[in-house]
Structure 1
Amino acid sequence: MVRHPPSMIRAVLLDLSGVVYDGDTPIPGAVEAIARLRDAGLPIRFVSNTTRSPRQAIVAQLDGLGIAVSDDELLTPANAAVAWLTAHGCSPHLLVHPDLEPEFSGVQEGGLKAVVVGDAAEAFGYTAMNAAFRQLVDGAEFLALATNRTFKDADGGLSLDAGAFVAALEFAAGKQAIVLGKPSRDFFHAALVGLDCTPGQAVMVGDDAESDVAGALRAGIGLALLVRTGKYRTGDESRYAPHPTAVVDDLEAAVEWVVRKRG
């Protein structure tokens, strides 16, 4: 359901993996679609739930595709976690992918602890999970970089994402995690800071019907488009509420939809 008149579209939020690229390969038409948004004068914010790649690697990957990204155009859960830890005077107990650990190097050690969980891949194991559990039952805060159920892996199939491991720790410790990435309302709203745009005037484009689309609409984002690329599977559009504003083939079709509706 369209919640705002088309003329109210003033910014576009884009997921990355599965929308702009699959692995190291750009999705056909995606680079040109982003250029079209820029030509139309629509501000873009890339809102990624990736918790394996550091920010510098994401920027480099986009640059390699010919997509220049300014510092304020990319928002990741790791950025949000560092800001949260700093604001609350906590030092992290990390259960994340080794490649992501340097993102937390500037956070002050000592004081209160916060368990930070992302997609740790092979680093998930009993010893690591139990160490995080013990921190939680000893009073540590609990931060989840994301709670996605699955992601599209390099072999083209779906693999477990961080959500299952976050849920296991929540169950064992009896403590609910603070979610910092999508579908957190604060994460979507943080992406619009500095723009002359209310949440209701923004459009979200993603391949995850739960975190990207339903999450955005619950956060007050006005419109949310689901693309049939990336992790999308037939029937995703009806699995989670609120349902997508529209379902389109890919980012190129999404941009065509946005430009047409914007008038």
Structure 2
Amino acid sequence: MAVRSRPKIRALLIDISGTLMIGSTPTQQATQALAELRRSKFPYRFCSNTSKESTSVLQKRMIDAGFDVQTGESPELWTSLKAVRSLIRSRGLKRPYFLLSATAKDECISEGLYDPNVPYDAVIVGLAPALFDYDRLNSAFRILVGEDDSQKGRREDPKASIPLIALHKARYVESSGHGLVLGPGPFVAALENAAEREAEVLGKPSRAFFETVIESLDCDGEGCIAVIGDDIEMDLGGGAIDLGLWRILVKTGKYRAGDESKEGVQAPDEVCDSFAEFVEKLLSGESNCSALPRRH
């Protein structure tokens, strides 16, 4: 079966956790590689499903680790929390029930967007390990099915318009010093099963998230946009496939041997040992780290 060579790439979407950093520690040569991208004026954006901390906390952690992250009118760092905040505004949500860390929740409800005196009108779930106990998950379930005390007598069909919103549905994540640990996906799945509805995913790998980030890039011209990450499904699946992005899997973070050939998952276009290796080959014009045949 023929192997595709790498096309011309005009911009890069970069995963953070597991690709650039594990915890607060950069992956091998990642800071230097990013600096080379900056010096070459190659367009890129950081794409994160972070929900355990706010965007500003993540940005500071990246800067402290040695990464140059610029802000301003066209920010480089895009997170699923930004998508949540935009959704709350666009839908006029007044009182979501949050299963989010304190800093993540504060980012979503700033500027007086929260009214504790109205019934709950959404359930929003991110990575919040300390909140995934029976009582809080049960509260989320009861809101979704219209059984919460705040909803009683307040609408004809209290469960009809209560959305279940997930920042992402990763089954597991890489934890610094601990290896793989549970992500929010299994807890979202439990709520989906109990409430008999499918969660709306706002972060990767949703097509809408990728489209929003791509719109922020000033990179018209020939070539394709590439996405690089350590999770074949959450970083490189879904919308990344739908949009025809060139998909690079790195063998760092949550990557485990054989991920690139998982049954039922579309193989990546390229597999590299690290982010730094990919950048070196990209900027030097070298061929793929390793290209994989397409499964049909």
With normalisation by structure 1, the TM-score equals 0.92
| 1:214 counterpart residue number | 237
| 2:7 counterpart residue number | 6
Q: Aligned with 1:10: secondary structure?
A: strand
Higher mean alpha-carbon deviation, 32-41 vs 64-73, is at 64-73
- Structure showing greater radius of gyration is 2
Q: Distance in 1 between matches of 2:77 and 2:258?
A: 30
Q: Aligned with 1:212: secondary structure?
A: coil
Q: Aligned with 2:98: secondary structure?
A: strand
Q: Distance in 2 between matches of 1:87 and 1:184?
A: 18
Q: Is the 8 A contact 1:10 1:43 kept in 2?
A: yes
Shift of 1:42: 1.3
Q: Is the 8 A contact 1:216 1:224 kept in 2?
A: no
Shift of 1:51: 1.0
Matched, 1:254 2:254: no
Shift of 1:103: 1.1
Q: Aligned with 1:231: secondary structure?
A: coil
Corresponding residue to 2:215 among 188, 193, 199: 193
Q: Distance in 1 between matches of 2:19 and 2:178?
A: 14
| 1:147 counterpart residue number | 169
| 2:107 counterpart residue number | 103
Q: Aligned with 2:214: secondary structure?
A: coil
Shift of 1:111: 6.9
Instruction: Kindly report structure 1 stretches of 4+ aligned residues shifted beyond 6 Å.
Output: none
With normalisation by structure 2, the TM-score equals 0.82
Shift of 1:123: 1.0
Q: Is the 8 A contact 1:18 1:229 kept in 2?
A: yes
Q: Is the 8 A contact 1:54 1:100 kept in 2?
A: yes
| 1:127 counterpart residue number | 135
| 1:224 counterpart residue number | 247
Q: Is the 8 A contact 1:188 1:219 kept in 2?
A: no
Shift of 1:261: 4.9
Higher mean alpha-carbon deviation, 205-214 vs 216-225, is at 216-225
Matched, 1:172 2:172: no
RMSD between superposed Cα atoms in Å:
2.2
Q: Distance in 2 between matches of 1:165 and 1:257?
A: 39
| 1:83 counterpart residue number | 86
Name the aligned partner's letter for residue 174 of structure 1: E
Shift of 1:216: 4.9
Higher mean alpha-carbon deviation, 132-141 vs 97-106, is at 97-106
Q: Is the 8 A contact 2:47 2:79 kept in 1?
A: yes
Give aligned pairs, total. 261
Q: Distance in 2 between matches of 1:124 and 1:133?
A: 12
Q: Is the 8 A contact 1:204 1:216 kept in 2?
A: no
Q: Aligned with 1:204: secondary structure?
A: strand
Shift of 1:154: 2.7
Q: Is the 8 A contact 2:44 2:217 kept in 1?
A: no
Shift of 1:256: 2.3
Shift of 1:28: 1.5
Structure 2: runs of 5 or more not aligned: 147-158, 288-296
